[in-house]
Structure 1
Amino acid sequence: MKSRKVIVANKAGIHCRPASKIMQKALEFKGCQFSLKSSKGNIDPSSILNLISIGLERCDEVEIIASGDNEEKACNELAELFTFEFDFPPRE
């Protein structure tokens, strides 16, 4: 099991489009299970509904936990997406 704490960097937080990118990355690691912990709750980040419903905002701290095949790589690649500042704004 590997874990990593990161701060959400995207100005608009984790809305639909960044959530979609995070979910897609989590699903790439078929032999790995994920958990995401924050002050707003614990979720499975391989579900876009989970990611959106938790309401992560810029500067929120999250802990990404990966367990299984390629867990270190999986944890690091998922963490990168939370620390990436996407250039698209949320849709109105």
Structure 2
Amino acid sequence: MPERRVTVASKVGLHARPAALVAKAAAAQSVQITIRKSDTEPVQAGSILGLMTLGAGHGDEVVLAAEGDGADAALDQLAELVGSDLDS
């Protein structure tokens, strides 16, 4: 299963606006994407509630994973988003 490790760049972490943007982008993909911190169970990246309960803060490393046709491209897109400052 392809994975991407990425550091959360948004100063507020994956909460509020950044969580909404990531969830929307993940839900738009043709494959289901999960996200987890190294010490947690994965949650659906397309779920705002899942992202917020993950508790990923600024500077935390998260692991994105997906399986199926288009998984690599979907993960690349989402990794770029999570690694961007989404606060503004």
User: What TM-score do the two structures reach when normalised by structure 2?
Assistant: 0.88
Structure 1 residue runs of 5 or longer lacking an equivalent are none
Within 5 A, what are the aligned runs for 1:1-92? Answer: 1-30=1-30, 32-39=31-38, 41=40, 42-88=42-88
Q: Which runs of 4+ in 1 moved over 2 A?
A: none
Q: Tell me the CA shift for residue 53 of structure 1.
A: 1.3
CA distance in 1, matches of 2:63, 2:87: 23
Root mean square deviation, CA, Å: 1.3
Aligned length: 87
Normalized per residue, the structure richer in strand is: 1
CA distance in 2, matches of 1:18, 1:81: 9
Task: Spell out, residue by residue over 1:16-66, the C-alpha distance to the aligned partner (whole angstroms, 9 max, x if none).
Answer: 111111111111113x12121213522111111000111110111111001
Larger gyration radius, structure 1 or structure 2: 1
* Identical-pair percentage: 36
AA at the equivalent of 1:20: A
